[in-house]
């Protein structure tokens, strides 16, 4: 019997590489595709990448490329793979109506990146409703950490803060540090994607939220990074200071956002396992020379 073929779009990213490493231990065939291996915005290149796939996992994320996700999703749906797992973002909700999100909120994406993510998700779920594919969107919160599979770090604020701390530079915040974020380690994010793949039939047709359920004040996260770096380098902790923002901050940037993952957990058994403290310890260790 032929092993199922899983195609990973965005396989060289921090989440994609972790998903690929886990799939390599399963009795499946894995075809890793990324923008380095071909322009996935080109319909012909995309068709080649997903040809014969039993499932496609789409983990693309690029704030710099307009309409990347929605364009790739359109080509992907033309190819009609049986199953599509799509990684969205909890920020698709726009300005959160409350700090604890469970996925029932009305979406009002505010930025171009959020609107692109939302358009791709809507196209996938519409195709699922029409019976063309079985699509699942899993919305992730702030993902941080290091992928041991390819040595890459996330491209978000925590990695930038960590590198500044290692360089001995002050850690600056554009607010008072009480804004809370749900910080999900890359290994937990990859495990959530795999859980969605494993339960695609029962999850198909809607979006699901995966997160820790814990809101970490960003000031606390920054101070934890400073303390860990200081202890590991035998230096004094760099200061964490609030500074005026270089531009007016949006309401979403100043709003706390935490995920209630109960619905996804109940259907898949997945749960985040990495504490923020342990995750930051590992990330700092990987970043130090």
Per-residue confidence at 37, pLDDT binned at 50, 70, 90? low
Q: What pLDDT is stored for residue 64 in this prediction? A: 79
> Up-side HSE of residue 88: CA atoms within 13 Å toward CB?
34
Q: How would you classify residue 4: left for phi > 0, otherwise alpha for psi between -120 and 50, otherwise beta? A: beta
Size of the chain in residues: 289
Tens-digit pLDDT profile for residues 153-163: 998 999 999 99
Q: Which percentage of the chain shows pLDDT scores above 90?
A: 91
Helix (H/G/I), strand (E/B), else coil: 34? coil
Span 57-61, average pLDDT: 93
Per-residue confidence at 35, pLDDT binned at 50, 70, 90? low
Among 64-73, 113-122, 258-267, the minimum mean pLDDT is found in: 64-73
Q: What pLDDT is stored for residue 67 in this prediction? A: 87
For 5-146+183-212+258-273, CATH gives: 3.40.50.720
Per-residue confidence at 40, pLDDT binned at 50, 70, 90? confident
Tens-digit pLDDT profile for residues 175-224: 999 999 999 999 999 999 999 999 999 999 999 999 999 999 999 999 99
Per-residue confidence at 141, pLDDT binned at 50, 70, 90? very high
Q: Are 180 and 256 in contact (CB under 8 A)?
A: yes
Q: What pLDDT is stored for residue 1 in this prediction? A: 72
Q: What pLDDT is stored for residue 273 in this prediction? A: 98
Q: What is the pTM of this model?
A: 0.95
Question: Which structure tokens are listed for 243?
Answer: 């500074």
Q: How high does pLDDT run on average in the chain?
A: 95
The C-alpha angle with vertex 81 and arms to 77 and 86, in degrees rounded to 5, equals 65
State the distance between the two ends of the chain, measured CA to CA, in whole angstroms: 47
Q: How would you classify residue 76: left for phi > 0, otherwise alpha for psi between -120 and 50, otherwise beta? A: alpha
Span 170-174, average pLDDT: 96
Per-residue confidence at 36, pLDDT binned at 50, 70, 90? low
Residue with tokens 């364009």: 71
């Amino acid at each position: 019997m032929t092993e199922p073929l899983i195609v990973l779009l965005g396989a060289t990213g921090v989440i994609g590489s972790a998903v690929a490493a886990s799939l390599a231990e399963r009795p499946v065939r894995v075809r890793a595709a990324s923008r380095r291996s071909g322009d996935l915005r080109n319909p012909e290149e995309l068709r080649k990448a997903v040809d014969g796939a039993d499932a496609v996992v789409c983990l693309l994320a690029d704030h710099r490329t307009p309409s990347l996700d929605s364009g790739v999703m359109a080509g992907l749906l033309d190819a009609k793979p049986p199953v599509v797992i799509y990684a969205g973002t909890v920020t698709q909700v726009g300005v959160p109506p409350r700090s604890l999100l469970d996925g029932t909120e009305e979406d009002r994406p505010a930025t171009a990146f959020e609107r692109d993510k939302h358009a791709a998700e809507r196209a996938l779920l519409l195709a699922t409703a029409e019976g063309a594919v079985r699509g699942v969107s899993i919305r992730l919160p702030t993902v941080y950490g290091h992928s041991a599979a390819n040595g890459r770090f996330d491209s978000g604020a925590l990695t930038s803060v960590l590198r500044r701390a290692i360089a001995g530079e002050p850690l600056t915040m554009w607010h008072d540090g009480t804004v809370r974020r749900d910080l999900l380690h890359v290994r937990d994010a990859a495990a959530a994607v795999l859980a969605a793949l494993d339960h695609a039939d029962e999850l198909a047709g809607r979006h699901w939220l995966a997160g820790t359920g814990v809101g970490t004040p960003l000031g606390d996260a920054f101070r934890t990074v400073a303390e860990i770096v200081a202890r590991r380098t035998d230096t004094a902790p760099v200061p964490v200071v609030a500074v005026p923002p270089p531009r007016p901050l949006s309401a979403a940037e100043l709003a706390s956002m935490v995920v209630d993952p109960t619905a996804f957990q109940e259907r898949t058994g997945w749960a985040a396992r990495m504490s923020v403290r342990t995750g930051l310890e590992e990330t700092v260790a990987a970043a130090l020379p």
